Every structure is written in C-alpha cells, then in structure tokens.
Structure 1
Amino acid sequence: MTSNEFRFFLSCDINLPVTFRIDRLEGNLSFPNSSPNSENNVSTESGMAELYVECALYIDGAPFGLPTRTRLKSTGPSYCWNELITLTTKYRDLTAQSQLTFTVWDVSHGERLIGGATILLFNNKKQLKTGKQKLRLWAGKEADGTFPTSTPGKVPRHERGELERLEKLVNKYEQGQIQRVDWLDRLTFKTLERIKERESLKNGSSHLYLLVDFCSFEHRVVFQESGANFLFPSPIASTNDIVIVWDPEVGKINPSEHKQLKLARSLTRGVIDRDLKPSSNERKSIQRILKYPPTRTLSGDERQLLWKFRFSLMSEKRALTKFLRCVEWSDVQEAKQALELMGKWEMIDVCDALELLSPVFESEEVRAYAVSVLERADDEELQCYLLQLVQALRFERSDKSRLSHFLFQRALCNIELASFLRWYVAVELYDPAYAKRFYCTYEILEENMMKMAAGVNGEDDGFKLWQSLVRQTELTAQLCSISRDVRNVRGNTQKKIEKLRQLLSGLLSELTYFDEPIRSPLAPGVLITGIVPSESSIFKSALHPLRLTFRTADGGTCKIIFKKGDDLRQDQLVVQMVSLMDRLLKLENLDLHLTPYKVLATGQDEGMLEFIPSRSLAQILSEHRSIISYLQKFHPDDHGPFGITATCLETFIKSCAGYSVITYILGIGDRHLDNLLLREDGRLFHVDFGFILGRDPKPFPPPMKLCMEMVEAMGGAESQYYTRFKSYCCEAYNILRKSSNLILNLFYLMAGSNIPDIASDPEKGILKLQEKFRLDLDDEASIHFFQDLINESVSALFPQMVETIHRWAQYWR
C-alpha cells in the first residue's frame, strides 16, 4: 500500500455541513433601464443602497433545503459582508451536479434585483472547489439553479487575463502553499492592488463580481456516491499538493488569548512588572530587537517582550522608539501608561526623534515629545534635517501642530532657516493632496516672518529684511521669463548668450543693479546686489541653463546656475544627503574633501544650483589624456608622486573614496564621465542625480562608479595609493553604517514627497537603501564586503563598453 492512495477524501465520507463565506461585491453598482434622474441611481450613487445576498443549494437542477440570506449591508461601495454561511445539507449528500446560487437584492427603495450567479461545487475532474471564487453577476437576472444554468458565474475566457492568474496565486498563498516572506509580500500585494486598479480602468465597470470563499480541507475532496465502488484516476492519486484545513475562525480574535493579553498588559500588573528583569536569553532577544532598523516591523512576541520588561528598559534610550511601537494605542488605559513612561524615559537622540515624526506614530503627545527632543539641536544640525521636517508636516493632525510652531520659532531667530523653510513650504503648494495644509503653513510663516522683520533693528530695517526675502520670489520669476526668452531664440548657443546679455543690459537692466540688496536663495547669509551681464552665460544642453554671475554686498561675486524645465527636488535631496554624510564623517575626524554644492528647488520644474569651477572627466581625458596630466598643470612637483604635490593627490584619493561610498549607499545611477567633475585642487565630485535608489538607465551598472582612469591616477591597482583609497572607503562605510538609522529615518520622512524615484514606490526604495548598509555584518565583515565591491566595480567590463559608446555619442552630438 503506497502513501499516495490516502492523499484525498471521498465526499461521501465527509459528515460536515456545507460551509462558505460571502466576501464582498466588486464593481460599480447600477440598475438596468434606469434614467439618470431615477430614484434607483440616486440610491446607489450616493452609497445608500441596502444589499443582501440570497444563497440557495440546487442538486441535479432542483432546490434542496431552504434559501439562506446574509445580513443587510449599506456602508458601500464597496459592499463587504465577510459573513460565514453554513447550510443544513452535508457534503456527503451532494451530487456531481450540485450547484450554489447567489442573488443580490437591494431593499433601499422596495425590493430590487441587482443580479445573480450560479456555480458548480465540483469541477470537471469531480474535485470539490475550494478557496476564493470570483463570480460574475448577471445584471437584472435572478440566479438560475437548473442544470445547465443560464446564469453561470464563471468568468468568460475573453475576460480573463493576468489578473486571474495572480488571484489564483493569492489563493494558494492564503492556503499556505506559497512560502511567506513579510517584506516581499507587502511589496507584492501593493503591486497587485495597482494591477487590479489598472485592469479595472481598462475593462470598464460594466460588470459586477461577487467574491465567495469556499471551505478547504487537508487533502483534496473527490466526489463519490455512498456505497459505490471507487476507482481513483492516476493523475490525482499521484498529486503532492498540500492544502491546509480551512478554519472559519482565522482572522478572528481568540477570546482566551485576548483576555490573557489584556491581563498581561493591564495596569494592575504595573507593580509586578516594575521588578521584572529579563533572563540571559531574553536580554539577548531584546538587544537584537533594539538593533533593528526603523523600517522593521515588530512581531507579536517581540512587542509582548518589550512591554513585559518596559520598566527595566527605561534607562536604555534606544529602546523608547521600539517600546512605543508595541503600544496598543486604541486602548486608552495602555496609551495613558505608555505616555507616562515616555516622560520618565532616558532622553533619546535627535536621530531617534525623527522616527517618532514618521506616519507610523499618530499620537499627538508622542509627536510633541519628538519636537521637544529636536529643540536641543543647534541651527546647523536642524538645517541638515529641515527638508524632512517640512515633509513631516504632512503627517500632523492640525495646521497649528507643535512641529509647525517649533519650525516657526526657530525661523524667527535665524534668517537662513527662515529663507529655506519658506522655499521648502512654497514648493509643496503644488501638491494637490496637501496643498491646503501647506498653504495654511505658508500663511502662518509669512505672518511670523513679518513679526520677525519688525523686531530685528527697528521697523524700517526689519521691513527691508522682510522685503529681501519676498524679492527672492520676484527674482526667480524674472529669471524664468529670461530663460524662456533665451530658449526661444533660434540659432546656436552663442546667439542665445548674446540674447541673454542683451536682455540683462537693456529691457531688464534693473537686474544689473538692484534697488535694494536681495538675500541669495542659495545662501541667505549672502546679500546680492545685481547681475554682471558680461560674465553671464548659457550652458550647451537641451534646457539651456543660465550661468549667472551676481555681485555681492561685500564687493565680491558669486556664480549661480538657474534651470527652468527640470525638477531639482531629487538633486536637492541627494546633495542634502552628501552634506549630511560629510558632516557625519568630519565628526569622526575623517575629512574626505567632498563638495556638497548648494541646490534649491524653487518650483516643480525650476531651481538654482551653486556653480563650482571645474571640468568633467570627459573633457579632461579628451584634452590631457589622463587625470594626472591635468593635475600636473596646477600642482606640479618634481619630487612628489607622479609629478604632482602629495597634498593634491591625497585630496583626489579622499574625494574619490567619499563619493564612491556615498553613491553606492544612495544607489545613484547614470554615472558617466560627463557628470563626474574635477576641481583644480584635485577634488572630484558628482553632479546630475536623475536616478537614485538603484534605478539606472544603463544595463548591468557596477555597484559604484570607479573607472579605470581614476585607478590609473592613483598609480594602478597594485600601488600604495590605491590601497589607501580602499582603506578610506572602508573606514567611511563603517562610519556611515553607524548612522544608518538617521539616514533611513530621513528617507522615511520623504516617503510622502513627490520626488520621482521615491514616489514611484517608497517602501521598496527605502528597503533598497537599508540593504546597502548590510546591517547583518560586523565592522570587519563589512570591510571585506566593501573591498569585494570595489574590485567588482573596477573589473566590470560591460560598463566600460557602455562608457565608450557614450563618449562616441557625445562626440557625434
């Protein structure tokens, strides 16, 4: 006797009642032959229809037993009953032609028929149907139980597609036939919802569908009449499919477990829990939980463990954010106790306070506590997080939240914070979902800035200070107009440059010398007094950005690039991260000579960038053949390495290391020799961040941009300078890994923004960022890991081929 002979049940042996669940109704509800002004349409379009489903069993075309009705459902669309139906008929009484009929009725204005559908309980292989079934309703028809039926619920073949295949896989997933991977499952189901929406729009809303969930058993159920000889067909006998037993109580609260949980977390246990100390194993588990990144969701057991030992964890500041995640905020008494403990907890760091401002935490008290921690940050540190704090206003419950009040108060004391805050909020006014919230914030900010202006150095000086910020907006509007006029000029770049200078010297001559100084939007501490037409120019590119030279109040000049037609919000975020990482590295006494130039988006498709005198590696290699030859021109030294000064070479090596690490962590793509720039002092830096978080238009991109020309400038892969480069990379990588929570929290706060590579799939992007830190490795293992990445990037052949093709394309262009 083989084991395969017992991998099925016979229907005649199952002495259980027929059970199924009525799930929900999908599609737009409407009535046939109803006029637009009819009473029927009013009830459905306003969502006031009252629906129920009538279920009946038919055996061999005849009704068997009494029909069963669901409860009324009026809170739709969508109408969701999620009601378990148990018939008096048992599975052993069914025949191969047994059918279930489902008819949907509306009783909001008398009894009206919506539609009906019929389904066979056994398929053509005489196996009992299990799991979720999607039935198409026949509009205006009552379900027909005759055999064959005139209202088959099976979706016609021409209406099926990719969605049906995915729904079958979901059915298998819910029955335990597909392995569960939490983070991947969340991304998959989110993508599945988007596919459903797309299919719904494509197919229109002409049909209604009823979703029904049939009972599943441990093995397949095959039809067999009582007392008959059974001959099992071989294909089914050899099946290895596993179907877990369907439990109608799945998803419901277990009363005994719920009671035990309430007792374990009740206030009456506070006295007992106060003296509890974790065992050695429990302490290891807690320490493991505390090392979780902020993106990690805690399991039920982990949440219970932290709650149990909450009193002993109060001296551990890292534990507060994890503890607040395990609180049942819907329980008033538990929430009250959690807030009391929060006030007595060891003060957390600023980076952890940023986590408490994410959308995960809705409690106003928790968010207010996070702001109280932020108040300890100085203006320089606060400016590092200001972009994300503005985004966090999306998650506040009111326009006058503690966070907004805090930002206003700090802006009153610092003109740079005030200027940047004003621009960050102004750009968000274009977001239709949160326009009202940010408009209110903008108005309050303007009022506060007026008050600030009045109290600086007397009303006159204060008003001028206020006007200098207001005129920033006027200046950008004029630059937009100039950019459009110049772009419309026919001819080559030189003609466009002539038009630019003509405009600045003629029609717009007021821009040459301002009536009053204006605070530079990029650097509010600098007062600009006008534009120098003769030193202003245009870049040779599709959008023709303006390169403008401004006079400053101290007698100097500053150069700014103004772009119209390009969304700079993503560049602004990346450069902010470069600046933050530069700060983190310097706090650990590691200066890698980075160049975090300033970027400011002044609208959805416009903005300013600081101009840094430099040349692209493509230009340098074209004119000087090598990087070393170019550096010898500015820093020659006959006794130095490769004929240049040791300081210049060290600067080059360090900057290469810094940007190699940062571009890898942020997943910056589309790296080629035209967006790698080199300054005369040897500092290399990157520009143009149109692709981040792993996106790249080029196939098979290397983990980081480290071309052979850069390695050759260090003396080759065997030189001591290349070894020093790798040492700097590994040291920087480990320093930034220590601040992974801060960087992840900042990106988490940007999840609701309209930055392209984040908005497309925020959760996926943040998970990719988290993976780059390799938090599962210790410092020593991470060094080996990063050295392997460097070797892989240098030896990558395909990117070199792509780079060669890119150079030829640029040449012919």
Structure 2
Amino acid sequence: MVVFPDEQQIEEHANWIVSRELGYNYSLSLSNRLACDSTISQAELEQLRSLCSRDPLYELSEQEKDFLWRHRHYCVNIPESLPKLLLAVKWNSRDEVSQMYCLLRDWPLMQPESALELLDCNFPDPMVREFALRCLIQGLTDDKISQYLLQLVQVLKYEMYLDNPLARFLIKKALTNQRIGHFFFWHLKSEMHNKTVSRRFGLLLEAFCRACGMYLKHLNRQVEAMDKLVNLTDTLKHEKKDETQKVKLAFQHSLYFSLSPLYCSVSLSFSLRLEECRIMSSAKRPLWLNWENPDIMSELLFTNNEVIFKNGDDLRQDMLTLQIIKIMENIWQNQGLDLRMLPYGCLSIGDCVGLIEVVKNSYTIMQIQCKGGLKGALQFNSNTLHHWIKEKNKGEGYDKAIDLFTRSCAGYCVATFILGIGDRHNSNIMVKENGQLFHIDFGHFLDHKKKKFGYKRERVPFVLTQDFLIVISKGMQECTKTKEFERFQEMCYKAYLAIRQHASLFINLFSLLLGCGMPELQSFDDIAYLRKTLALEKSQQEALEYFTKQMNDAHHGGWTTKMDWIFHTIRHMPNEH
C-alpha cells in the first residue's frame, strides 16, 4: 500500500527546502535547481513573459526549464504561466514536487480555456488536475461546458482513478442540465465498444442513468431505435432492391425516437414521411430520413425534420471540426464579426455509427452548376452560381443574399485554411437559397489531403474559385478590382487574426482528443499543422502577410480547383440527387 503525505507534511518539507535554499550561493550555475531568485530583472521578466506566451506545443529547453524553476515564486504573478512551470518540475524529486504543491495551493485561478491544458496527458498529477477543475468550476457557464463537453469526456481517460473529481463534476452537471446530460450520455455510449474505456465509461453511464429520472425513458427509446437502424442498414448493404414494402415497413417500425439524438429539444413524431425517405447511393448505404414536425406551430417554422443515418463512417472528425467551427464563430461574434457560419448537427453514437442534420433549402455547388446546363456543369460558365442566387432572391433580398454569401464564404475560407480541411469538391460545399455558404463532410483535416501518384490532389490553400468571386462582386467579371472584394478580403484578415489570438485554445482542444484514436489525429505532429497555418513563429504583421499570400494563391490557383471539379462532376453527375 502506498501512503501519501498529508498537506501539513508536504508544507513542512517545502519550508525546510526553502530555508535550506537560502544558504546556497546562487552564482554556482544555471543547473543549480535548488537555487531560487528573490528578485527578477526587467530583462528576466521579459524572458519569463515570452516563455509563458508560447503555444502549448512549444518544447522547453533544459535551460528554459531551469530558468522557470528559479523564478517559480514570481510565476505566481503570471497565472497563465502554470502549464510551462509544471513542465519544468522534476516530478521524481520530492523536494520539487512538495514546493510545487505549496505554490499550487496559493496559485490564482486561471481562465478556464487556459486551464483545459492541465487536463491533458502531460499532467497526470491529481493535485494539478484538481486545480484545473477548480478553474473550470469557477469560470465555465453551462453553455461553455456544453461547448467543451467532447473534450471533457475524453480527458476522463487520463484520470488515475475511476472515482475522481472531474467525473463527479460532469455527472452533477449532466443531472442538472438536460442538454449537457443528453450529450454526456451519447459521448460515453459511443465508446462502449472500446474495451480500454468500457469499464470506466460504463460505470459513469450507470451512475447517470440511475439518477436521471424520467429522461431515461427518452434515452432508452433513442438507443432502441438506433440499434434497429444499425440492423436495418446492415441488411440493406446486401439488398439489391431498396424500394420494397418490406423496407418501408422496416423504416416505420424502427424510427420512434420520441426526442432527436441530435437535438434533445426536437421531437420526432410517429409520422415518418416514407415517400421522402431513401437509401442513398454511396457505398455505405446511408439512410435519408424525414419526419413530420409534430409541433402545432410547424407551418410557421418548418414542416419536417430530416437527418442522415450513417453506418460505416467514423463521424468523430466531422463532429470535432463542426465544434471548432462553432467556437470560431463565437470568437468572431465577440469581436464584432458576424460571419454566419453553419455548424450543422452531427453526432457519433457508436463504432462508425452516427447522425447528421440535413440543412433545409440547401444545395451542393454541383447541383446548382448542373442547373446551368452542360456549360455550368463542366465549369465553362462561372456565372451559374450568381444567377441562381439572384433568381432565388429578388429585389431587396438580393443584396442581403450577396452579403450573407460574402460573410459565410470569408468565414469558411479562414476556417478551412487554418484546419487544413481536405477533399474540397463541388459536392461538399453547399449554398442555401438565402445565399449562405457552408462546407460539409470533414473526413480529412490537418492537411491529410488525398493524393494521386504521390502528389496532393488539391493545390490551393483553400477554395476560392471564380464562381465565388463573381457572387461576391455582384456579377462583375474583374472581381478582384471591386470594392466588394476588398471588403471580403478585410473580413478574411480580421477573422484570421482573431483566431490567431486564440491559437492556444484550438491547440489544446485538439490535444485533449489525442486519446480518441481518430485516424488523422494521432500525435502532436498532426496538431503542429495549426502552428504552421496560424504562423505562430512570426510576428502579427508577418502572419498577416503570410495569410495574404495564401489568399492570393487561392484565387489565382482557382483554375486548378475548377479542373478537379470538372472531373468530379463527370464521375458523379448521374448519381447526384
């Protein structure tokens, strides 16, 4: 049995170490880790602030670790320096650990977004993790907890014990907020096939289900319906004829959810609209499902609810990307930038099983181009998208639609560039009838782009074709010389710099999911791509110049994207719905 010293013993030992330090001659060398500076020069203070401002992926040298440890008592005045100082501690040294514990006891609370870093695999110490949790409890609203819930559930894997303060905190929140509880349940349930965490997550699920009261009935119905849909899609993969009475009956008897797993406030009635349901043409045979909206005010809102059920595709990367896009949008809104992003609902509910929200009144770029005849479909006419938006938005609605397209296009240009979103073709970029643009299908990110003959197929940093520029410039052919394009550029620059200011948050959010086993998020090397796109080694002016070059490359190289789209259209035009 291992017995840990109590707080009084730790403090006594730390005080003894400090008194012993006073007898040291500090001029010995930088390697004297027992030495401690009582004062700090202006130059040293600047160096300390510089080290603490480095992003979470920055690797401290041994000299920098010694420097931080020597100035550990001053670091208390810079609360955000804690992660760097903890990395400087020699955790096999009783002397250093006892002093760190005493410092931690009096350490000012950090911003919750900064404290998230202390929950990753680099910080297994229970005292450190308890401090991080205190920061979260103090600083996170329920909305923020919902926003970061995906990561908070994953870092439970790094806890030493099954019963731990973080688990208790999450269960308490899940039981007092139905939205948090709903997604807490599904984030745990979706990993129950993983034997390495099934015991831990199973105990948490049982604790939650035993205490959640009447809501358990809704969760049971959702789980039963999901299981039936999995069985149904497994069968359909081997069926030759889909539109049979047997399949229709199977649909009808499988799909009583009561409440939607995607949105716990949305009710799905018994009234499945069978004539609108279909088995989609892709290899995994996803289901397009359509329910009548049972709300008595549905005529004023929307008359139906549509979701896509996928069995065989890992939706966790989509879920993470959409979460990040939503957080980006919040940051932009807080800085007065309304870029009208559309992070639609997406939920992984099991091993390569999940649900995706269908966005109403939206069409792929390919569908719109095909409406422009053969010239539009084969990219010979770049005006098709603009004509379509103009046709859908008459009079005053036209200017609003162009503004909406411009804002959303700017947001997605910046987001897809920073995140390294790949496989961008005209079937996974969509536009709503009101002009709002959005991207779908995020199976490739962090620059894991498809290759052909060893070369990356996509040769531009992000998609900004002539079709988009013509819409932004309201039909003008010399698009880049218009004031509308200048306004679009300015939006992109502001959006990019705003996200760069929060680089550490995004690096942390990805780092906390390294234990997930996503195919394109396996190591810190993958996350290092964010350091590149956010130009974290450069000054702000240099970073802006770097992004400006990427934007120029994007619209000057738009013809390469058009060529890719032509071949994609030729391959998929017969199957496009």
Match of 2:289 in 1: 548
Is it true that 1:426 corresponds to 2:183 in the alignment? no
Q: CA deviation at 1:332?
A: 1.7
Match of 1:794 in 2: 555
Match of 2:121 in 1: 359
**Mapping 1:3-22, distance limit 5 Å:** none
Is it true that 1:572 corresponds to 2:333 in the alignment? no
Match of 2:363 in 1: 615
- Aligned residue type for 1:292: R
Task: Give SS of 1:790's match.
Answer: helix
Match of 1:803 in 2: 565
Q: CA deviation at 1:301?
A: 1.6
Match of 1:754 in 2: 517
| Partners of 1:307 and 1:354 in 2: CA distance | 22
| Partners of 1:659 and 1:649 in 2: CA distance | 15
More helix by share: 2
Q: Which moved more, 1:440-449 or 1:590-599?
A: 440-449
Q: CA deviation at 1:257?
A: 13
| Partners of 1:600 and 1:359 in 2: CA distance | 25
RMSD: 2.4
Is it true that 1:674 corresponds to 2:435 in the alignment? no
Task: Give SS of 1:548's match.
Answer: strand
Unaligned runs of 5+ in 2: 1-23, 299-303, 377-383, 451-455, 474-478
**Pairing partner for 1:655 from 408, 417, 424:** 408
Is it true that 1:533 corresponds to 2:274 in the alignment? yes
Conserved 8 A contact 2:411-2:495: yes
Conserved 8 A contact 2:507-2:527: yes
**Mapping 1:212-223, distance limit 5 Å:** none
**Mapping 1:317-716, distance limit 5 Å:** 317-375=79-137, 376-432=139-195, 434-435=196-197, 438-453=198-213, 462=214, 465-491=215-241, 496=242, 498-499=243-244, 503-504=247-248, 506=249, 509-511=252-254, 514=256, 518-530=258-270, 531-552=272-293, 554-555=295-296, 556=298, 557-613=304-360, 614-624=362-372, 625=376, 626-637=384-395, 645-697=398-450, 698-715=456-473, 716=479
Match of 1:308 in 2: 70
| Partners of 1:302 and 1:489 in 2: CA distance | 64
| Partners of 2:385 and 2:25 in 1: CA distance | 69
Cα separation, partners in 2 of 1:339 and 1:472, compared to 1, 3 Å: same
Cα separation, partners in 2 of 1:717 and 1:263, compared to 1, 3 Å: closer
| Partners of 1:360 and 1:623 in 2: CA distance | 53
Match of 2:538 in 1: 777
Work out the percentage of aligned pairs sharing the same amino acid: 27
Conserved 8 A contact 1:422-1:442: no
Conserved 8 A contact 2:30-2:63: no
- Aligned residue type for 2:542: A
Match of 2:57 in 1: 295
Unaligned runs of 5+ in 1: 1-255, 454-461
Task: Give SS of 1:318's match.
Answer: helix
Q: CA deviation at 1:532?
A: 2.9
Q: CA deviation at 1:757?
A: 0.7
Instruction: Note the alpha carbon deviations across 1:497-519, whole angstroms, 9 max, x for none.
Output: x33x7544x3564456x4xx623
**Mapping 1:196-275, distance limit 5 Å:** 264-266=32-34, 273=37, 275=38
Instruction: Note the alpha carbon deviations across 1:453-496, whole angstroms, 9 max, x for none.
Output: 1xxxxxxxx3xx211112211111111222233343324xxxx2
Match of 1:745 in 2: 508
| Partners of 1:281 and 1:293 in 2: CA distance | 21
Match of 1:88 in 2: none
Cα separation, partners in 2 of 1:507 and 1:605, compared to 1, 3 Å: closer
| Partners of 2:251 and 2:389 in 1: CA distance | 41
Task: Give SS of 2:212's match.
Answer: helix
- Aligned residue type for 2:465: C
Conserved 8 A contact 1:390-1:424: yes
Conserved 8 A contact 2:119-2:132: yes
The TM-score, its normalising length taken from structure 2, stands at: 0.85
Q: CA deviation at 1:725?
A: 1.1
- Aligned residue type for 1:628: H
Q: CA deviation at 1:667?
A: 0.5
More strand by share: 1
| Partners of 2:445 and 2:211 in 1: CA distance | 40
| Partners of 2:544 and 2:574 in 1: CA distance | 42
Cα separation, partners in 2 of 1:520 and 1:287, compared to 1, 3 Å: same
Conserved 8 A contact 2:310-2:354: yes
Task: Give SS of 2:348's match.
Answer: strand
Is it true that 1:733 corresponds to 2:496 in the alignment? yes
Q: CA deviation at 1:527?
A: 2.9
Q: CA deviation at 1:680?
A: 0.8
Task: Give SS of 2:262's match.
Answer: coil
**Mapping 1:148-187, distance limit 5 Å:** none
Q: CA deviation at 1:330?
A: 1.4
- Aligned residue type for 2:171: F
- Aligned residue type for 2:367: Q
| Partners of 2:51 and 2:309 in 1: CA distance | 47
| Partners of 2:153 and 2:73 in 1: CA distance | 34
| Partners of 2:367 and 2:250 in 1: CA distance | 36
Conserved 8 A contact 1:356-1:367: yes
Instruction: Note the alpha carbon deviations across 1:312-365, whole angstroms, 9 max, x for none.
Output: 231212212211221122112321211221222221111111110111112100
Across the two proteins, how many residue pairs are aligned to each other? 522
| Partners of 1:550 and 1:399 in 2: CA distance | 41
Q: CA deviation at 1:279?
A: 1.5
| Partners of 1:758 and 1:295 in 2: CA distance | 15
| Partners of 1:443 and 1:657 in 2: CA distance | 45
Task: Give SS of 2:508's match.
Answer: helix
Conserved 8 A contact 2:30-2:66: no
Match of 1:173 in 2: none
Larger Rg: 1
- Aligned residue type for 1:772: T
| Partners of 1:415 and 1:446 in 2: CA distance | 17
| Partners of 1:779 and 1:649 in 2: CA distance | 30
Cα separation, partners in 2 of 1:403 and 1:596, compared to 1, 3 Å: same
